[in-house]
Amino acid sequence: MDEMFKPSRRAFLRGSAAAAAGTVAGAASAAGPDPLITELQDWASGLGVGVDETPYGLPIEFESDVVRRNVEWLTASPISSINFTPIHALEGTITPQGCAFERHHSGAIELRKEDYRLMINGLVDTPLVFTYADLERFPRENHVYFCECAANTGMEWAGAQLNGVQFTHGMIHNMEYTGVPLRALLNEAGLNAAGDLKDKWVYVEGADASSNGRSIPMEKALDDVLVAFKANGEALRMEHGYPARLVVPGWEGNMWVKWIRRIEVTDAAVESREETSKYTDVYEDGTARKWTWVMDAKSVITSPSPQMPITHGQGPLVISGLAWSGHGQITRVDVSKDGGITWQTARLGKQGDTKALTRFYLDTVWDGAPMLLQARAMDETGYVQPTKEQLRAARGENSVYHNNCIQTWYVNAEGVAENVEVS
Amino acid sequence: MSKSLNFLLPGLGGAGLACGLAVASMYHNSGEARIALLEERLAQVEGHETSARKLAKEEAARATSLEAKVQEVQAAAAERIATGVNLTAPAPVPDGTLGIGRVAQAEEIAAWDVDVLPDGRGLPQGTGNAFDGEEIFADRCASCHGDFAEGVDNWPVLAGGFDTLGDKDPVKTVGSYWPHLSTVYDYVYRSMPFGEAGTLTPDETYAIVAYILYSNDLIDDEFELTHENLGAFEMHNKDGFIVDDRIAREHSAWRAAPCMENCKEETRVTMRSVFLVGTPPEGGTESVMNTATAEGLPSFTAEGPSFIPAAAPKAEEDAQAAPAPEEDQAADEGTQLAAAGEKVFRKCKACHEVGAGAKNKSGPQLNGLLGRTMGAVDGFAYSKAFQAAFEEGRIWDEDALAAFLAKPKGFMKGTKMLFSGLRKEADVTAITEYLKTATE
């Protein structure tokens, strides 16, 4: 808990709040009576919009800046590209589908449920084909999981690059998925033909032109992988793989194959383009790590941040952020206001979710002095999110993927925040 | 919640008293003759105070009971966390099968199961060499990857980059980086050309793969690549990969209890964001280089920042404000439309240039397009479809352009422009206006 909010000092705070109130901007300090209160407003007199005006509701126009955005020059074509979730403006943990980041390798496709087929073949007893309707007949489960692109924060290997948490950390979303455990589908096809399952793999691919094939070790396939058809209660969006996608909890987003059409049991990894040319990590000496599937523990402050400056001046301030780990639960997040010299333990919004976003807060008081804001996550394995220095010492700067470094925002005396790197 | 109630209660009592005294003093000033009244008022104030304290006591009692309730709820929540918060119990896995789905037929499996394993298993029969491959590559791949697989603009480079993997910006190509040749066959056959995936025959694919090897100086142009020798071909970087060892190398070192106080003596900003990223209302982003430097920023110790800078650099605000005045000035509709069209043109920029000095990229330059003969840009290798349109002397007018942009392949069957089309009519109108003005 923040020093300023320890109960013993609360009485003092309450007492001084009245004195401070005069300096706080906004309605409370209005010189005269507030016309929004004293004058009759249109919306309080006329009539609003009737039901069915928008059969499927969109956010109100005042929120129209809270959208996915891409940084055009990062890729050659928007068809094979990425955009970013506006995490700076979201709260809680669930990402609405409409603003959850997209990553396509050959564009998002329109695939009707009626045209959907899922094949299971390879080392199985009976190769099978399922329709979409078939999928809905298997016992299903609901789970909230984060999906993070392995390249999230990738630009920042080269130093502070993009000014905005949407762009440094926005290749992530967190949804409640409804789906069939992959193990149920494999069980249906039968795994006796595969013999010893220890060294077996499943190779998964999508129905789009890129096909985005990935190899997943059998142990994970039988553990918590889902073939999902709903997210946050409704059908998946086209851009997230309608009508069905793979959910690979805690593992890099590229493996969450969209429009999944085929699952093959094999005795070796295919070593497809997406697991050799891409999604491998080159180290300082030129050797590369492959099969780096798990997303390590990471956290970031979403507000204040470059897109969310402090606009209310000195006084009570909510520092809000997100933490997650591909290894399980987040157990603790610490926040520093001085670039990592002093840390305070933040309050976790809700504990216990595994491989899902956890919201954290530091309820504090801003004295108007500049800050170097950082957050540091710990997960249930005891792993502590590393600094940029630690990561670079371990891996060099040539990697693209798996940058889970501690992020720093410099907040100046006006409350404006900027992406920086510190010593 | 209950705690703050506690703190507020004594405060309320005090405020009631102070307020009463103020009223009293007012009466005192108004004249001695009213002493009797004043005394009466004082008695009233005292009465108020007593009842306020009584109220306070009652509320405090309520607060205590509320607090107890909160504790109860918190304990229940903690218990739930401890026992796990799975929303649903795991789905049952039946002993036998459920009888859902149908058996996959051999032709179906053959159509979809085309992946190739590193040892070459999965390859279809076939053969090809770089000599034949060069021509197919020039026709089907070079517009994006370059005649020599060197990459055009931002599109992937497929050749060269040897001995750069240890450099700061390693050039990872098929030649310098890919560990298995099987992957090249597998990927090209399944996923390329971009926009026309799955249209190559096995022999064409062997020839293209041979040509990519040739471009990387890994074979000569007579080498016959076949399903028999592909799996055994040794790539330059075949030993360049190790299996993920983060747990052993990193996790073990990063599990120590983290430092909480005086973790370092001093810290300072060493680098500021390279790009300021504007977020215009119409979507997307506008990046500008950040000119601010780390100089002039305070350093930090456990005591806080070394000083408070007078005024913050305004760079970011400027960046966001910059486009606005332009738009304000854009009085007439045409200019506004053209400005909207410029935004839409972002979809084309990967392949086309327009304006002063525009060059051919993977698509032809678009200067003076309206009124221009189709397929007429010198030095650009058009598809047969556009070559035919040129012969016929067909001219670009607004209708033709609108039809083409809405559905390129519908308007010009056989075009090699791999663009699915603009869905919104407004976008077509805007971009047409932009193409008109951009070349003036």
Distance CA A142, CA B85 (A): 12
Tell me the chain A residues in contact with residue B166 when contact means C-beta distances shorter than 8 Å. Answer: 284-286, 398
Distance CA B114, CA A189 (A): 20
- By C-alpha distance, which of A218, A293, A252, A198 is closest to B245? A293
Tell me the chain A residues in contact with residue B305 when contact means C-beta distances shorter than 8 Å. Answer: 338, 369-371
Q: Kindly indicate the confidence band of residue A373, based on its pLDDT and cuts at 50, 70 and 90.
A: very high
Phi, psi angles (nearest 5°) of residue A405: -65, 160
Which secondary structure element, helix H or strand E, spans residue A408, and what is its range? strand A408-411
Q: Kindly indicate the confidence band of residue B19, based on its pLDDT and cuts at 50, 70 and 90.
A: very low
Q: Which of A55-69, A183-197, B62-76 has the lowest mean pLDDT?
A: B62-76
Tell me the chain B residues in contact with residue A416 when contact means C-beta distances shorter than 8 Å. Answer: 312, 316
pLDDT at B14: 39
Of A70, A119, A370, the CB nearest to B108: A119
Mutate to test the interface with A, among B79, B188, B300 (most CBs of A within 10 A): B300
Which residue of B lies nearest to A75 if distances are taken between CA atoms? B154
Tell me the chain B residues in contact with residue A382 when contact means C-beta distances shorter than 8 Å. Answer: 255
Determine whether the interchain pair A341/B174 forms a contact, defined as Cβ–Cβ distance below 8 Å.
no
pLDDT at B324: 44
Tell me the H-state helices in B192-235: 202-215
Q: Kindly indicate the confidence band of residue B96, based on its pLDDT and cuts at 50, 70 and 90.
A: confident
Architecture in CATH of B326-436: Orthogonal Bundle (1.10)
Mean pLDDT of B140-163: 91
A residues 76-135 lying closer than 8 A (beta carbon) to B: 76-80, 105-107, 119-122, 126-131, 134
Contact status, residue A419 vs residue A300, Cβ threshold 8 Å:
no
Determine whether the interchain pair A137/B98 forms a contact, defined as Cβ–Cβ distance below 8 Å.
yes
Range ranked top by mean pLDDT from A13-17, B63-67, B432-436: B432-436
Mutate to test the interface with B, among A272, A348, A351, A362 (most CBs of B within 10 A): A272
Distance CA A202, CA A268 (A): 9
| A19–B contact, CB cutoff 8 A | no
| B14–A contact, CB cutoff 8 A | no
Percent pLDDT > 70 in chain B is: 82
Kindly tell me if the per-residue pLDDT of A19 is higher than 60: no
pLDDT at A37: 96
| A224–B contact, CB cutoff 8 A | no
DSSP state of A254: G
B residues 205-264 lying closer than 8 A (beta carbon) to A: 240-246, 249-251, 254-256, 258-264
Contact status, residue A167 vs residue A151, Cβ threshold 8 Å:
no
Phi, psi angles (nearest 5°) of residue A80: -115, 85
Determine whether the interchain pair B103/A126 forms a contact, defined as Cβ–Cβ distance below 8 Å.
yes
Determine whether the interchain pair A343/B263 forms a contact, defined as Cβ–Cβ distance below 8 Å.
yes
Tell me the chain A residues in contact with residue B170 when contact means C-beta distances shorter than 8 Å. Answer: 282, 286, 398
Of B98, B117, B298, the CB nearest to A268: B117
**ipTM summary value:** 0.89
Averaged pLDDT of chain B? 83
Distance CA A418, CA A309 (A): 9
| A64–B contact, CB cutoff 8 A | yes
pLDDT tens-digit readout, A228-256 = 999 999 999 999 999 999 999 999 999 99
Mean pLDDT of B276-293: 92
pLDDT at B361: 85
Kindly tell me if the per-residue pLDDT of B311 is higher than 80: no
Structure tokens of A87?
Answer: 């995490």
**What's the CA angle centered on B194, arms B193 and B195, to 5 degrees?**
105
Residue spans of the domains in chain B: they are: 15-102, 114-226, 326-436
Q: Which of B83-87, B176-180, B293-297 has the lowest mean pLDDT?
A: B83-87
- Whether B114-226 and B326-436 share one fold: the answer is yes
Kindly tell me if the per-residue pLDDT of B195 is higher than 50: yes
Q: Kindly indicate the confidence band of residue B33, based on its pLDDT and cuts at 50, 70 and 90.
A: low
Tell me the chain A residues in contact with residue B156 when contact means C-beta distances shorter than 8 Å. Answer: 76
**What's the CA angle centered on B328, arms B327 and B332, to 5 degrees?**
80
Contact status, residue A176 vs residue A192, Cβ threshold 8 Å:
no
| B275–A contact, CB cutoff 8 A | yes
Kindly tell me if the per-residue pLDDT of A62 is higher than 80: yes
Tell me the chain B residues in contact with residue A140 when contact means C-beta distances shorter than 8 Å. Answer: 91
Phi, psi angles (nearest 5°) of residue A249: -55, 130
Fold classified for B114-226: Cytochrome Bc1 Complex; Chain D, domain 2 (1.10.760)
Contact status, residue A78 vs residue B422, Cβ threshold 8 Å:
no
The set of residues, in sequence order, having a beta carbon less than 8 Å from that of A344 and lying 6+ positions away, is: A1, A2, A3, A334, A335, A336, A337, A362
pLDDT at A36: 96
Determine whether the interchain pair B267/A334 forms a contact, defined as Cβ–Cβ distance below 8 Å.
no
Percent pLDDT > 90 in chain A is: 87
Contact status, residue A189 vs residue A127, Cβ threshold 8 Å:
yes
Q: Give the domains, in start order, of chain A with CATH numbers.
A: 78-289 (3.90.420.10), 298-420 (2.60.40.650)
Kindly tell me if the per-residue pLDDT of B331 is higher than 70: no
Which residue of A lies nearest to B78 if distances are taken between CA atoms? A351
DSSP state of A404: -
- By C-alpha distance, which of B300, B207, B309, B306 is closest to B262? B300
Contact status, residue B377 vs residue B362, Cβ threshold 8 Å:
no
pLDDT at A78: 85
Determine whether the interchain pair B100/A134 forms a contact, defined as Cβ–Cβ distance below 8 Å.
yes
